[in-house]
Structures are given as C-alpha cells and as structure tokens.
Chains A and B, each alone.
Chain A
C-alpha cells in the first residue's frame, strides 16, 4: 500500500527525517508515534506532497508506484485521503458543500464506496449540521467533517494527522469509536497521534519516530501493550 524507504527530509535547513522507513499494509492501521518535533507532521506532508518539506533522498511508493516529489493533487488522485492537522475545513462552506466539492468515486471496487449519505450515516451529527457554515462548528464536529471529507474522496489510504488534538475527552471517545469502525471496514490508515493509549487501541501496528530522525521501533500494537519499554525509551511515557 504505502512504503517509505530511507526518507531524508530537511526543514528550513535542519534535517528532520534522516532515513525514516515504514510501511502501511493493505487494510491495516499503522499508528505513528513520536514526541513533538520528531517529524510526524513532516512525514505526513512528504507523503501527501505538501510543502515546505524538501525531500532530500529516499523513496515513497504507493501501491508500488514511486510518488516521491509528486504534487499533492496527483497524490490525492492516486488514492490518498488527507485529514490534516488542525482540521482545516473550508470555513465559508456548509458541511454539505465541504463534502460535495471533494467527493469523487474510486476506480477501486474492493473497498465499500463512500458518498455524502454514507458519511452522514457514519457521523449522524454532521447530517444535523449539513446546512451550517463549517466555521461555526465545534472542534469535534469539524474533526468529523475533516474525516468525512477525506472519506468521500474514496481513498485507498487514509492519512490522519493528530485527529484528536485539542478535543474534549468525550469527543475523543467518539472519534476513537469511529476509527475502530474504519479499521474494521478494511481501509488502510496512517494515523499520527499524541494520545498513545488511543493509538495502541485502534492500530494494528505501531511505528515510533525517535531522536535520530528515523523509525526507532516498529512492531504490532499487541507487542507494545505487552512490553511498553520502547514507549518509555522514545516517548518518555
């Protein structure tokens, strides 16, 4: 699905990623952990073709196709759905318009198809708010919209950058519940999280970014739950 190999990314002169490698397999959720400033968002941006990271060397492949250096538009059309950090919904558009402007069908028939009504079934709250300008929604509702907006592009890989950041605990539970549901339907997910418990709970496998700008530990979530030493070592928790 997604494989990142020996990726070097410099950010404003300083190397943030110095040889990071990871893989998201078909239908699995990979939780990406790491302290602030370890390059989680930089890695997400590099995968999605967003600037400013400049990719020094290494390779990013989607379904076996080299996409390193592609534009974000081309990568999106290749089947990557982004839920950006900070949500970034289109504030002057209504909930429904946010979904309609990006909705498109997928050539891939293997996954269940997402359309606007399906997103409303998935997040009934959004259906109630469909005519409201998205800028007046609560943070949790905006996050649901950001996820729904990525889903209606019918991605093969869903990339979520800190989807529970700044949300109230009750809302985090609701988002977590929806993430588990997404994992069940078999879409591949790359999830960056500060909330370690949540990441361990919903992910199949975990990758931990360490100080050296590389993936310091990689394994199953079950392994990490049984033996949390790498968490102490690299996250300080």
Chain B
C-alpha cells in the first residue's frame, strides 16, 4: 500500500468517524442523563436529512438546510420526550420498545412523504471539489465533516465541563432525586438534553447526506454503527463516543479498502471482543 493510499484511508476513516460522532454524541448524551436507549435516534437522523434536503432545495441555502434539519428534529425530540417517553419513565423495556415503535412510524412517514429514491445533498461550491494535500487530492467536504466533528467535540467538552448548565446536567446524572429536592428542575434539563441530542441527530442526517445516500434503511444502518460506537466507547460517555467514532471510522475505512467482503465482520468483531474484556466499554462506568 502506497503512502498516498494509506493517507487517503486514514482521512476516510477520520471523516466517517466525524459523521459517526455527530450521531453518537447525541445518542450517548441522552443515555447519560435520561438512561434511555433511544432506538429512534437513527430515524431522527433520517428525518433531519429529508427536512434539510427539502429546505436546501427550496432555499438554495446550505446553512438554512442545516438549521432546518437540526431545528425540526429538536422540536420532534421535545414532543417525543414530553408526550411519549415521559409516560413510561424508568420502565426500561417500555422505553426501549416505544422508541423502536416511534422509529418505525417515522421511517414509514419519511417513505410516504419523501419517497424511496436515494437522495443526496449537493454540497455547496465552497465545500465541493478537492483539496491538494502534499501531492494527493482529497474531497473538501469530507475534511469539512471531520472539522465539524472536532469543533462539536470541543463545544461539548466546554459545555459539559466548564459551564453551569453542564454541571447541572452532570448533577442530574449523579443524583437526580437530590437535585430535584434542592430546587433544580431536572425534568426541564431532561427535555433540553433530549432536544439537543435529537438536534445533533438531525444535523448529522443533513451533513451525512453530502457523504452517504439518504434512503429508506439509512436510519437502521447509522443507528447500528452509533450503537457499536457507544458500546465500544462506553454508554453515556462523550469522550467514549469521540474515541469510539474515530476507532470505528478507521476500522470501517481500512476494512472496506482491504477486505470489503468482511466489512460488517470487521466492525462487529472488535465490539464483541471488547464486550468480553471490558463490558462497560472503554470509558463507561461499571453498572
């Protein structure tokens, strides 16, 4: 393998890992606070992609498309949390099954509204084309996705570790009963975090549409990878989601280049191995 191919595969892995981080960070944030494994997260990704593409097509503004994707799915998340999930809070099986049901409904609604043909985001000219890096060309958009993920990681770190809001969220994770009994409205924090996590999924759908095809089934594919990421990184840990995304992105890129027939095996085998050795993931807290 030449140095150029190696560098290309590394960048493929990093940029795909970046997209995975956009999806899995929201997933893991929601789990960390609400203890809900939101299996509708993939469907939120798909809704965001379709809404974003429709807005982008109508307005020719990429930024508006991204804003519509994140905003609409945030609202959807608020509705979901306040009307559906709140009724079964604390009943794990009901919560998980409800999110599965919601994801099926959303996926079917998408099929009815937006059809079954694959769609893509035609990236704006500022992000299109390729950049020449030390003698080889690499798609500019993929670098943009990687940069966006890094920026998000920094924002999330500062938000959770350096702000009062972040401390409040962590207090809710530590002991929500006592936080409530000291006058902190944890249920409002819950809704806010759910909306934020959902917005990230919606944004990821639209951004991902510039790299991957958006079509029925894309929700399940991305959900599966996000699950692998958070299982590897440790459920509830944003740091784990970042490392896990990078790891799975790289594994995916190299295995597709070297042994494409085993693409799924190479992603799931390390996860299975890790589950045997460290059941709570790289950065997860033991239950």
A92-B183 contact in complex given A72-B177, A84-B178, A100-B164, C-beta closer than 8 Å: no
Interface residues in B, total, Cβ within 8 A: 18
Q: Given A50-B177, A88-B175, A101-B164, A149 and B182 touching (CB < 8 A)?
A: yes
Tell yes or no: A157 within 8 A of B by CB.
no
How many interface residues does chain A have, given as a range?
20 to 34
Contacts A100-B164, A101-B168 given; indicate if A90 touches B181 (C-beta within 8 A): no
Cα A72 to Cα B174 in complex, Å, equals 17
Residue pair A48, B174 in contact (C-beta under 8 Å): no
- Which residues of B have CB within 8 Å of A90? 170-171, 174-175, 178-179
Judge whether B183 and A73 touch: CB under 8 Å.
yes
Chain B residue numbers with a CB within 8 Å of A75 are 181
Do A100 and B167 touch (CB < 8 A)? yes
Chain B residues closer than 8 Å to A93, beta-carbon distance: 167, 170-171, 174
A233–B164 CA distance with the chains assembled, in angstroms: 50
Q: Specify which chain A residues have a CB less than 8 angstroms from the CB of B173 in the assembled complex.
A: 92
A84→B171 contact, CB < 8 A: no
Contact of A101 among B167, B180, B181 (CB under 8 A): B167
> Quick one: which of A98, A102, A104 has the most chain B CB within 10 A?
A102
Find the B residue at minimum CB distance from A77: B183
Per-residue interface assignment for chain A, residues 41 to 75, with 1 indicating a CB less than 8 Å from any chain B CB and 0 otherwise: 00000001110000000000000000000011101
Knowing A84-B178, A88-B178, the reply to whether A104 touches B171 (Cβ < 8 A) is: no
A153:B167 contact, CB within 8 angstroms: no
Chain A residues with CB under 8 Å of B171's CB are 90, 93, 97-98, 101-102
Residues of chain B within 8 A (CB-CB) of A149 are 182
Asked whether A76 lies within 8 Å of B182 as measured between CB atoms, the reply is yes
B183, A97: Cβ atoms closer than 8 Å: no
Taking A82-B181, A93-B170, A153-B182 as known contacts, 7 extra A-B pairs with beta carbons closer than 8 A to each other, sorted by chain A number, are A73-B186, A75-B181, A92-B174, A93-B171, A93-B174, A101-B167, A101-B168
Could you name 18 residue pairs across A and B whose Cβ atoms are closer than 8 Å? A71-B180, A72-B181, A73-B183, A73-B184, A73-B185, A75-B181, A76-B181, A77-B183, A82-B178, A84-B181, A90-B179, A93-B167, A93-B174, A97-B164, A101-B167, A101-B179, A102-B179, A104-B183
